[in-house]
Structure 1
Amino acid sequence: MEFDLSSAAFWVAVGQIILIDIVLSGDNAVVIALACRNLSPEQRKKGIFWGVAGAVSLRVVLTTFAALVMNLPWLKFVGGLLLVWIAVKLMLPEDEDGHDIQSSEHLWGAVKTIVVADFVMSLDNVIAVAGAAHGSLALLLFGLAVSIPLIVWSSQLIMHWMERFPAIVLLGAGLLGYVSGQMLLTDPGLLALLPPLPEWSGKAAGAVGAVLVVAVGRWLEQRILAKQDVTIV
């Protein structure tokens, strides 16, 4: 995809990257708060700043690397399958009491905790954003440049919206399913085995992926909730 600010496809891809970042970065504010909760108010601000800066820098490097190698045969296919699992998991109710994040009384200890935790939690984000960028490094960097400040500045508000309006999570899961479907069908290794496909096949695969993720996610969610009700009774 060309870096063309007048292209509708470009802005659609940017919108996908921003929404993916918002949906998959909801836990970051929690991690930051937990890691810095024992710092003094002055150090807390520094801890948040340097922790976010380190985590963002690491994520940009990882996502750029993923976008550059994504066009290698079968990598997009594997990434698409993994993204399907990530999208379905996003819709399932959490059964854990909280994050296993250790707070620190020292500034750089808190910064290290934020960076390491974000690295562990970034796999889903890296794969999804790299897939939405369609191999365009310029589009990837532009999308991240727009979305990262949005997440950092409004993370608490975003988390509140996601709790109040569950449809945001459902929309995000559907978007991840759409991106995964396109990734699967546009993998160079798979395309080499298939006959020439029409231009609309990528969008059709994305639509099938979105419907599949939402349907499977809803089904598993209902099964989990039913089991929880039985256990409570």
Structure 2
Amino acid sequence: MEMTDSLFWVAVFQIIAIDIVLGADNAVVIALACRRLPETQRNRGIFWGMVGAIGMRIMLVFFALHLLALPFLKIIGALLLLWIGVKLLLPEPASDGPIVRDSPTLFGAIRTIIIADTVMSLDNVIGIAGAARDSLALVTFGLVFSVPIIVWGSKVIMKWMERFPVIVIIGAGLLGWIAGGMLTTDTVTQDWVETQAAYLHWLVPACGALLVVATGKWLTARIHKKLRAPVDLVNRD
């Protein structure tokens, strides 16, 4: 399609609309991954995370039809997303405690953004590929156009997280919900769920959200207990 063709611009607007709708999820992941970085590194984390995520999305769109037909792909992706959700709930390292854990790194935040965005995009690349009508240039144009909106959204969400910590829990639960949805739409589970247990389409995502939050809270409690143990021994002496 040429740029003078009206279908070109229709496809562009469709891709931008899809990316903006998906942008809410992406903004949450970026905010969760970068919230612990020093202020001076947050913009770099957001920028390079988005660059890597866009590159992976373009590759996913290119191979979309073949990838989504692979059995167990979404199940593996869902398990990975559950792990990411739990990891993002763990507490910040304590710099003044008896045990000092490794500080969050810029590379770690970028890696988390790319992995989570790639997993979360598995379901949506079909829509983008369809709107692009086999044009990789259209996909790239639409993705690049939507980046500023996602970046702005992630910065706003990070500020909200600083004021309202409960948003961190909600964001991690959202990743669990998305993971649950992926478990019921894999090629090996979708037909059975739709014909035998349609209620699993909402039950499994709800359980995924609860699993992430509950596991994250449990591990956080264990970490805090471990950090307090040496202090308690010192106090007894």
TM-score of the superposed pair, with normalisation by structure 1: 0.64
**Other-structure match for 2:127:** 136
Contact in 2 for aligned 1:22/1:147 (Cα 8 Å): no
Equivalent residue, structure 1, for 2:103: 97
1:127 match: 119
Residue matched to 2:73:
75
Q: 2:61 aligns with which of 64, 73, 76?
A: 64
- Aligned pairs (5 A) from 1:151-230: 151-153=150-152, 155-191=154-190, 196-230=195-229
Specify the alignment match of 1:106 in structure 2.
none
Q: In structure 2, how many angstroms separate the alpha carbons of the residues matched to 1:182 and 1:52?
A: 24
Superposition map of 1:6-85 within 5 A? 17-26=22-31, 27=33, 33-34=40-41, 54-55=51-52, 57-64=54-61, 68=65, 69-85=67-83
Whether the 8 Å CA contact 1:83–1:124 is kept in 2: the answer is yes
Indicate the structure (1 or 2) with the bigger Cα radius of gyration: 2
> Measured at CA, do residues 53 and 90 of structure 1 come closer, stay the same or move farther in structure 2, by a change above 3 Å?
closer
AA of the residue aligned to 2:26: D
Q: 1:28, 1:125 → 2: CA distance? A: 14
Unaligned runs of 5+ in 2: 1-10, 12-16, 94-101, 132-138, 233-237
CA contact (8 A) 1:177 1:206 kept: yes
Task: Report the alpha carbon displacement of residue 223 of structure 1 after superposing the two structures with TM.
Answer: 1.2
CA distance in 1, matches of 2:130, 2:190: 24
Give the distance between the partners of 2:209 and 2:112, measured in 1 at CA.
26
CA distance in 1, matches of 2:130, 2:34: 23
Code of the residue aligned with 2:28 in structure 1: it is: V
How far is the alpha carbon of 1:157 from its aligned partner?
A: 3.7
Please name the residue that 1:87 is paired with: 85
C-alpha deviation, 1:217, in angstroms: 1.4
> Does structure 1 conserve the Cα–Cα contact (< 8 Å) formed by 2:62 and 2:129?
no
Change over 3 Å in CA distance of 1:135–1:232 after alignment to 2: farther
Pick closer, same or farther for the CA change 1:231–1:134 going to 2, 3 Å.
Answer: farther
* Residue matched to 2:134: none
Q: Give the Cα separation in 2 of the matches to 1:224 and 1:65.
A: 42
| Identical amino acids, percent of aligned pairs | 34
CA–CA distance in 2 between the matches of 1:54 and 1:14? 16
Structural mapping, 1:102-121, within 5 Å: 118=110, 121=113
Whole-angstrom distance in 2 between the partners of 1:125 and 1:212: 20
**Given residue 97 of structure 1, which amino acid in structure 2 is its aligned partner?**
S
Structure 1 SS opposite 2:151: helix
Note the C-alpha offset of 1:91. Answer: 0.7
In structure 1, list runs of 5 or more residues that go unmatched: 4-9, 38-47, 102-115
RMSD over aligned CA atoms reads: 4.2
Task: Write the distance in 1 (CA, Å) between the matches of 2:49 and 2:180.
Answer: 31
* Aligned counterparts of 1:85 and 1:52: Cα–Cα separation in 2: 19
Contact 2:29 2:113 in 1 (8 A): no
Cα pair 1:19 1:172 within 8 Å, conserved = no
Instruction: Identify if the C-alpha distance between structure 1 residues 198 and 160 changes in structure 2 by more than 3 Å, giving closer, same or farther.
Output: same
TM-score, normalised by the number of residues in structure 2: 0.63
Q: What number of residue pairs does the alignment pair up?
A: 198
